[in-house]
Structure 1
Amino acid sequence: MNIELLQLAGRDGDTAYNLGRTLEAIANCSADTDLLVFPETHLMGFVGGEQLANVAEPLDGPTLQAVQRAVRQRGVSVVIGLVESAAGVYHNTSVLITPDGIALQYRKTHLWPSERSDITPGDRLVTTLWKGVRVGLLICYDIELPETARALAQLGAELIIVTNGNMDPYGPVHRTAIMARAQENQLFTVMVNRVGQGDDGLVFAGGSAVITPLGQVLYEAGREEARHKVSLDFAQIRAARSDYHYLNDRRLWLQGEVAEHPDGRRELLIG
């Protein structure tokens, strides 16, 4: 599987600009690319308060519709973040969009302190079967809590994709976390972060990375904008689990109702 990481500097509240860069990246991807991954809330940037009502969109809104058209035209898939408006509340959401439509929707379950007054957390951890691989999504702060990745692994995930908006001075925290989540679950992790400075003065830390099932760094970006393609060999998961298998050997299971769907989605409801 060939994945392109798009470590970009976005503009908070400027959906037109962010969408333009997204469509350009999709149009210019390599011919053999399967998936492009963008940062957390890339389409809208980080917004809050009164600005939310003017910027947030539903999943069938014009911005994601434009991304879906580009994906169908190019014949690739993307994971991208947005600020979602749904039933009168707002979610920090990432979606996996394929040429057939939205294959997976994940609402951030563990909110950073500054989000909690505006954003409603999701109630489930989600995976889907895509191109023969079970994929799970997480967002930024989620990866600092080991139970999130473990829950996805318990659902059978082989690849966890993290859309990230991590800022200084916490870059080293996410570098450690993404490596730990890969090693302790013996699966691939892909994290794509934002760079540059936000409207509120935050400086985003970059450091997008791909980690193997042995916890080894396959690729790591710096602090500037970057576009990089990696190829994942999922035989490495079998190799990592050949002598010992953490998921099989553990004696504690995470609790929660598992929901199976005919389209390949598998979810753990956490309330």
Structure 2
Amino acid sequence: MSTIRIAAAAAHFGRDLEFDLARIAKLIDDARKSGAGLLVLPDAALGGYLADLRHPDPEALPPALKPDDPLILEVARLAAEMVVCVGYCEDGGDERYNAAVCVSGDGILGRHRKVHLPAGETAAYTPGDRFDAFDTPVGRIGMLIDYDKTFPESARSLALDGAEILACLSAWPTSITNRAPRMAQDRQAKLFDLYDQARAAENQVVLASSNQTGAMGGMRFLGQSKVVGPGGDILARTWAKAGLAVAEVDVSEDIDRARRILRHLDERRPAAYRENPS
């Protein structure tokens, strides 16, 4: 794949699915005008995130959509020639998942169910159980949702499965327990950037990190969407405001350059690592 433009969105989404779809359509249009071939939208862009992460109200959860819901198919239609990743609450019958889907005009390219759930989410969602990369017209992609990127094993699993681009979809709030007077001083704001850069650098891949903005219930979302190169350098970012972070990347060439001397994936020593006791 030659040079492509990657866009990571920062925007607010709520429970109004019609409003959400209209905002997604606008972001796709803006990304297309910027020349983007890949757009990563935030977690829970269809239906919004939880209003309370510590004690979710079971009567006020995001609307659950079937994997082939017409709204998801409409996002695929809007994507047309682009590749678009979008988050939603998946209706799994007796279970609900915090999920993401990657689409183009050709249909569904890949899916992911969030594996790592922070304490409050376990009351609303069932965790997923795997990380799989998948092929797309813009390269091989792996998706992470929110808390997944806190765990190095998540991104590493996708990199070992051949992912060249990590799409990290988030609804990541400021610190709930220790709020800072300014966003730049917020603990979660610092961690959000740290994880994005570390996951890209340690795996020597390109990372596109989207996030929600605004507020939902008692939570205020960070924004800070960005595109990160395989050396961990931030190529484009939105800071706290809504918008698109757009960067032009030669994915294969940039990854090859990063791995020219030090090839992290090849130089691992699995026999020296503690095995999972489970």
Name the aligned partner's letter for residue 232 of structure 2.
Answer: G
Post-superposition shift, 1:132?
Answer: 5.8
Task: Provide the residue aligned with 2:245 in structure 1.
Answer: 228
Question: Deviations 1:13-44 (Å, cap 9, x if unpaired)?
Answer: 22121111112222342273212211111111
Q: TM-score, normalised by structure 1?
A: 0.87
- Measured in 1, the distance between the counterparts of 2:108 and 2:197 equals 28
Which residue does 2:148 correspond to in 1? 142
In 2: Cα distance, 1:154 partner to 1:31 partner: 31
Selected match of 2:67 from 59, 62, 68: 59
- What amino acid sits opposite 2:256 in the alignment? R
> Are the aligned partners of 2:174 and 2:189 in contact in 1 as well (CA < 8 Å)?
yes
The residue that corresponds to 1:108 in the other structure is 114
In structure 2, C-alpha distance between the alignment counterparts of 1:216 and 1:230, rounded to whole Å: 12
Unaligned runs of 5+ in 1: 257-270
Q: Distance in 1 between matches of 2:151 and 2:120?
A: 17
Q: Distance in 1 between matches of 2:126 and 2:200?
A: 27
Q: State the SS of the aligned residue for 2:246.
A: strand
Matched residues, number: 252
Partner deviation per Cα, 1:190-249 (whole Å, 9 max, x = no partner): 101111111x22111111111111111111221111123211112011011111111111
Measured in 2, the distance between the counterparts of 1:135 and 1:250 equals 22
Which residue of 235, 257, 263 maps to 1:218? Answer: 235
The 1:172–1:92 alpha-carbon spacing in structure 2 relative to 1, beyond 3 Å, is same
Match for residue 23 of structure 2 among 21, 24, 44: 21
Q: Check if 1:171 corresponds to 2:171.
A: no
What secondary structure does 1:126 align onto? coil
Residue type of the partner of 2:233?
Answer: Q
The Cα shift of 1:112 comes to: 1.8
Partners of 2:119 and 2:110 in 1: CA distance:
26
- Identity percentage over the alignment? 29
1:252 aligns with 2:261: no
Amino acid at match of 1:17: F
Distance in 1, matches of 2:34 and 2:166, equals 23
Q: Pick the aligned partner of 2:200 from 176, 182, 204.
A: 182
Superposed CA offset, 1:113-155 (max 9, x none): 2110110111110111112621100011111111101111111
Partner of 2:244, secondary structure, is strand
Q: CA deviation at 1:163?
A: 0.4
1:128 equivalent in alignment to 2:146: no
Instruction: Tell me how far apart the structure 2 counterparts of residues 131 and 84 of structure 1 sit (CA, whole Å).
Output: 25
Q: Measure, in 2, the Cα distance between the counterparts of 1:192 and 1:132.
A: 18
Q: Distance in 2 between matches of 1:244 and 1:79?
A: 30
1:149 and 1:23 map into 2 onto residues whose CA distance is 29
SS at match of 2:123: coil
Runs of 5+ consecutive residues of structure 2 not aligned to the other structure: 51-55, 176-187
Residue of structure 1 in register with 2:160 after alignment: 154
Inter-partner Cα distance in structure 2 for 1:111 and 1:31: 34
Q: Does 1:76 align with 2:51?
A: no
